[in-house]
Amino acid sequence: MASRPTELPNTHAGKPMLEVLKGKRCDPVPMWMMRQAGRYLPEYRQLRQDKGSFLNLVSDPEAAAAITLQPLERFPELDAAILFSDILIVPFAIGQNLTFITGEGPRLTPTLLDSALDELTGYPARLEPIYETVRKVRQRLADDKTLIGFAGSPWTVATYMVAGEGSRDQAESRRLAYADPDRFGAIIDRIEAVTLDYLSNQVEAGAEALQLFDSWAGNLSPVQFERWVVAPTARIVAALRERHPGVPLIGFPKGAGGKIAAYARETGVSAIGLDETVDPQWAAKELPTDLPVQGNLDPLALVAGGEALDSAVRVILDAFADRPHIFNLGHGILQDTPVEHVGELIALVKGGR
Amino acid sequence: MASRPTELPNTHAGKPMLEVLKGKRCDPVPMWMMRQAGRYLPEYRQLRQDKGSFLNLVSDPEAAAAITLQPLERFPELDAAILFSDILIVPFAIGQNLTFITGEGPRLTPTLLDSALDELTGYPARLEPIYETVRKVRQRLADDKTLIGFAGSPWTVATYMVAGEGSRDQAESRRLAYADPDRFGAIIDRIEAVTLDYLSNQVEAGAEALQLFDSWAGNLSPVQFERWVVAPTARIVAALRERHPGVPLIGFPKGAGGKIAAYARETGVSAIGLDETVDPQWAAKELPTDLPVQGNLDPLALVAGGEALDSAVRVILDAFADRPHIFNLGHGILQDTPVEHVGELIALVKGGR
């Protein structure tokens, strides 16, 4: 097992992560890790071996709930659980076939290069097991922990639906968006509608905060970024705020670089997730002082451990010391991360500045 | 042949691009395009077919000079020629084997994962044909055109030398840099020394401006960015300024996003190239008003043409109207770019605002 840091009293009552998302500062800062329920954990690999494919696990509420809770059982200092699922569940619900090929990543068929959007007739029932997972996790989660639901952003999900897989620079979708903005807009609209219901239903089932993953926001020109990232995100944020006032939504526009302040301002997200390439000191100046930020340790620094980890953590904690901050990685935890390094990270973050 | 825009008188004497690099504004703005000598041009494809592989062409000064000049013969409104070569000529000179596999990109062997740096004993003679190309181009270039020499940045070149090829997120180099910074630092130092001589020799041969391509600057954490991008670039800039006072160097930290202002300030580059993901209006506020900027049209907008091209060009020209600006793409021109769209682009840029 990992080394455990000394337990520290939390100076804020209730759920520290939700407090921060409301705009309060907490010391020590709350933390969780993107993909914290995943392959770096031996207990996950074991369950995966027993239960079969990723899609089987996601569609099995009992297994998915157990996996969602695994990281908190090993590391009780973590402040949040994030639903064990995948952003491609939405295209699966819309009607594409979803397979995960070992070593190659996910595949969606037929792609929207090969077929028309209206041939995907949709099976919202495919999302029901996810809501059941949320309910199960919420029942079992300790009172001070926050349950995060999530979805991919319409843009990022569209890149997979169009190309059928992750691609180096999302050229297929960017080309389609230039060549036929009406057709591409219809794809975005469809994803947006399903995503809105999907997130809303997660809240109904017990999710207390939401994150919108825009993993492929980075390669867009500013004009396309406004139209395909900012505008749909703003509409989702507004609609969710109306349906579920007070439920925070974290936007995570990975790779958005210099466009993060505009993204935060124009989408109205409750908080912004920063990827590992963002300089925290720059971001602290660039973003409004009351905007909660989440991030942004380089997952490779966590793999490295030692001095590289220590100094990277301190830079982040120092830069965000004066604002609401949730500690996280800048991207998902890597499969080859030594589990004991996670214990070291928690000690650094929870040990305070 | 492409449609030609009306010739417009240039309001600045001499070489407009060098004027802008000295901090002056020109109207119309000077322009060139990254990879302007390349596969979108039928005359390039013809010469390639006749003369064989890319490496053959680069090593043949007569052919390389002809290719360098091709875009200016077709589009005499362009303000600069950039040496036809490749950033991987430096690893080739250091002693790696370089091959270009159709559809897969370049390969370097042996990689620095498989062999030690000191096994690469170097053949500086491999660079001699490049200098001869520069001399030939300079002799043939019109008086108002600027000849640009270039190299890859130590970081970007290192990513290829370590992994042997381009990789999705440069993980091999980023991992090595965390795990063994001394060894990685030695690789950077070696590349830096060769690059400095290489650029200096290009100036001696007739290059009037230089560009340092940092194509893979985008995925680094801020700590690694400072150490492996900013610091070596700053040393190269300082050394070149001492050897060749007045010869401008354009830094192009592709994907650096929110770190561009720090990059410009700390490296001391004469101008900064912006990739297509940078919002020009944001960059205009973020960067010092007297710093020349170069960029940053989305190459896919040039493929698209029409209204998408027109509006993207206007946003860029408007945002940079009050500062020294060289129009360029945000990345290399794409192979499937219709040649007539380049004519349209030139008309838009040279037609003024």
ipTM of the complex: 0.91
- The answer to whether residue B335 neighbours chain A at the CB level (below 8 Å) is no
Q: Answer whether residue A70 shows pLDDT above 90.
A: yes
- Which of B1, B74, B71, B73 shows the shortest CA–CA distance to B34? B71
Closest-CA distance of chain A to residue B223, Å: 7
* Predicted pLDDT of residue A13: 61
Query: Can B35 be counted among the known catalytic residues?
Result: yes
Token duo for residue A15: 């759920």
Q: Answer whether residue B11 shows pLDDT above 80.
A: no
Q: Answer whether residue A2 shows pLDDT above 50.
A: no
Q: Answer whether residue A214 shows pLDDT above 60.
A: yes
Contact across the interface for B221 and A312, Cβ inside 8 Å: yes
Contact A209, A21 (CB under 8 A): yes
Contact A27, A331 (CB under 8 A): no
Query: How many CB atoms lie under 10 A from the CB of residue A330?
Result: 25
Chain A residues touching residue B223 (CB < 8 angstroms)? 298, 301, 308, 311-312, 315
What is the Cα–Cα distance from B264 to B250, expressed in whole angstroms? 10
Name the closest residue on chain A to residue B309, using Cα atoms.
A178
Contact A317, A346 (CB under 8 A): no
Highest mean pLDDT out of A53-62, B17-26, B107-116, B120-129:
B17-26
CB pairs under 8 A between A and B: 119
Contact A323, A308 (CB under 8 A): no
What is the Cα–Cα distance from A185 to A171, expressed in whole angstroms? 16
What is the Cα–Cα distance from A230 to A158, expressed in whole angstroms? 14
What is the Cα–Cα distance from B216 to B233, expressed in whole angstroms? 14
Structure confidence by residue, pLDDT tens digits, A226-267: 999 999 999 999 999 999 999 999 999 999 999 999 999 999
Q: Answer whether residue A9 shows pLDDT above 80.
A: no
* Predicted pLDDT of residue B352: 56
User: How open is the CA angle A251-A257-A260, to the nearest 5 degrees?
Assistant: 40
Q: Answer whether residue B224 shows pLDDT above 90.
A: yes
Q: Answer whether residue B76 shows pLDDT above 50.
A: yes
- The answer to whether residue A260 neighbours chain B at the CB level (below 8 Å) is yes
Token duo for residue B43: 């005359």
Q: Answer whether residue B255 shows pLDDT above 70.
A: yes
Name the closest residue on chain A to residue B336, using Cα atoms.
A175
- Which of B156, B152, B179 shows the shortest CA–CA distance to B167? B156
Tell me the residue type at A33: M
Contact A81, A72 (CB under 8 A): yes
Q: Which residue bears the tokens 């001391």?
A: B268
Backbone angles phi, psi at B254, to 5 degrees: -60, 130
What is the Cα–Cα distance from A342 to B312, expressed in whole angstroms? 45
Name the closest residue on chain B to residue A174, using Cα atoms.
B300
Token duo for residue A176: 């389609």
Fold classification of B16-350 is TIM Barrel (3.20.20)
* Predicted pLDDT of residue B291: 98
Q: Answer whether residue B3 shows pLDDT above 80.
A: no
Query: How many CB atoms lie under 10 A from the CB of residue A207?
Result: 27
Backbone angles phi, psi at B295, to 5 degrees: 145, -160
Closest-CA distance of chain A to residue B120, Å: 28
Mean pLDDT of A54-82: 96
* Predicted pLDDT of residue B13: 62
Least confident of B58-72, B164-178, B191-205: B164-178
What is the Cα–Cα distance from A228 to B54, expressed in whole angstroms? 38
Report the residue from A218, A276, A301 with minimal CB separation from B178: A301
Contact across the interface for A175 and B277, Cβ inside 8 Å: no
Query: Could you give the count of Cα atoms lying within 13 Å of A19 in the half-sphere of its Cβ?
Result: 19
Report the residue from A224, A258, A312 with minimal CB separation from B257: A258
* Predicted pLDDT of residue A4: 35
Report the residue from A255, A259, A278 with minimal CB separation from B279: A259
- Burial of B17-47, coded b for 16+ CB within 10 Å and e otherwise, reads bbbbbeeebbebbbbbbbbbbbebbeebeeb
Percent share of chain A, pLDDT over 90: 86
Q: Which of B79, B86, B214, B298 is catalytic?
A: B86
Backbone angles phi, psi at B107, to 5 degrees: -130, 135
What is the Cα–Cα distance from B251 to B72, expressed in whole angstroms? 23
Q: Which of A40, A44, A160, A263 is catalytic?
A: A160
Token duo for residue B267: 């490296």
